[in-house]
Each structure stands twice: as structure tokens, then as C-alpha cells.
Homo-oligomer: A and B are copies of this chain.
Amino acid sequence: MYHFDQSVIAPFAQQYLDASEDEIKDRFQQLLITEIDQRLEHNIWGITTGQRIAYQLQRLAHQADIVLDLHTGPISSKHLYCPEYAKASAEYFDIEHTIFIQNGFDGAMDEATFCPWWSLQEAYQDLGRNFTMGEGAFKKESFTVELGSQEQIDLDVAKQDALGILSYLQSQGVIDNKQYQPQKMTRYACYLQDYKALYSPMGGMVDYLGEFGKPLAAGEPLARILRMDNYGDGEALHYVSLEQEVIPILHFASASVNQGTELYKVFCNYFEL
């Protein structure tokens, strides 16, 4: 529900082609905030409840250089959504799985924060002026930090999560305390288009077999689905597998699913960071 209007980018770059970095930063940030204000305040037909909340959050986000959108999922391992240009930052969080996002807006908060700047950097490039994303006026980083299962609170784990965030903030110079360093771990990543959902081919009771974070070979069962109504006169057990190696990242919160319920989300074509 977040807002991004690609059409304002090129005219801005044209207008401020020779402006200083400071001016670009100030004016473009102001443009983004003004666009949100227009939608929030100047609309006699009103906006939906969800859009209002999204725009209010986005208005806050546009005022920051670093945006961390802290999430939890249904039943989930930890994972990080990271814009590709900020790849180096992913290693400061204590999170084993990273999803790299390229410059495409699909409605999420993190994208709504970095896509305008990334598009602006590209627009300048088209006009012959080169900036580097993540530096100078373009020092904008935004991550969605998925901190695991939504119905489980474990304060010891929460402390580890906090330390990982401090480690990232230390790397960015937000805080200055060298004790916050990332843990050593094998970090896997894949691109957003390779972070795929598997929808249940049938309704039933699901025994989730794929373990989070553990590579699962092609053809190995990810889940088995028990169909009580097939007992006696059919196949009561159905095994679900994929034709490629994947890493399971999260699964649905209930054992009872319909045909079409999102069963698992997995990393395909993954690689080590």
C-alpha cells in the first residue's frame, strides 16, 4: 500500500541536474514527503484505513537515512530483505538468510524507501552524472528484518536480535561502540524472484518436514499431507517435493490447510555471502 510514483523522478533529475548533493538530498526528500502529504491531506474522497497508516509510516521513513522495518512471520526462521546495493551491510546483522532486492517497486515499505533514491541515481546516470547508491546524498538504506515466528516470544533470542541490530548500527556510525560486532556464521542469500512460495496442491493436515535453514535436495519431501477422507479408499498420504534444491525459510502457521494455502516459502538458486 506504500506509494511510489516513478514519473516524478526524471523531471527532478533534469531540474536539479547541476545541483549540489546537499541540495539534491534536501529537495528530493521534500518532494517525497510532499507527495505523501498530498495523498494524506488533500483528498476530499478520503483514503482507506490501511492506506492512511501506510502513508503515515512512509512519511516518517522518508525523513530517515536508515529504515529498519521489524517484522515477524507465521512460523519462520530469521531472514533479511536487503537492497542489492547494500549487500555489504547484510553481513552485520546476525541473520543467516538474506533476500536481495533489485530496483523494482512492489509495494513494500523497504522498497518505498530506497526505490525513489535508486531510481533517481539511475536518472542522473542517464543524464551523465554519476552517483553511487549508499553514498553521499544517496546514503539511504532500508531493510525488512524478519525476526522469526510471530507467536513465540523468547527474550534471550530477542537480546541476540538486538545485538545484531546494534552491530549494524555500529557499522553505519550511528553508534560508536566496537563491542557490537556481527557473529561469525554462514550466510545464504538469494534474489527476490528466487524467494518462492509453494501453495498447497490439496487440502488436508500437513506434517511439515522441511527444516528451516537446511538445504533440501531436489525430490526430497518438503511436507506430507494427510487426507483423512481418503483413508480406506485412496492415497491418504501425499508427499510434496520440488524439482530443485531449496532452503525452507518459513511455513504456514496451522497444520490444517486448504488447496492453495501458502505452505512454505523457500530460497531457490541460493548462494553463500
Contact = CB atoms under 8 A, between A and B. Distances in A.
A74 to B, nearest CB: 10
Interface string A47-64: 111111000000000000
Contact of A224 (B48, B155, B199, B201): B155
Nearest to A153: B255
Contact of A52 (B51, B150, B205, B259): B259
Interface string A188-212: 0000000011111100011100000
A255 B46 CA distance: 18
Given A51-B260, A153-B206, A259-B52, A201 B46 contact: yes
A262 interface: yes
A242 interface: yes
Interface string A237-273: 1000011000000000111101111110000000000
A123 to B, nearest CB: 27
A44 interface: yes
Given A44-B242, A242-B44, A243-B44, A49 B153 contact: no
Nearest to A203: B49
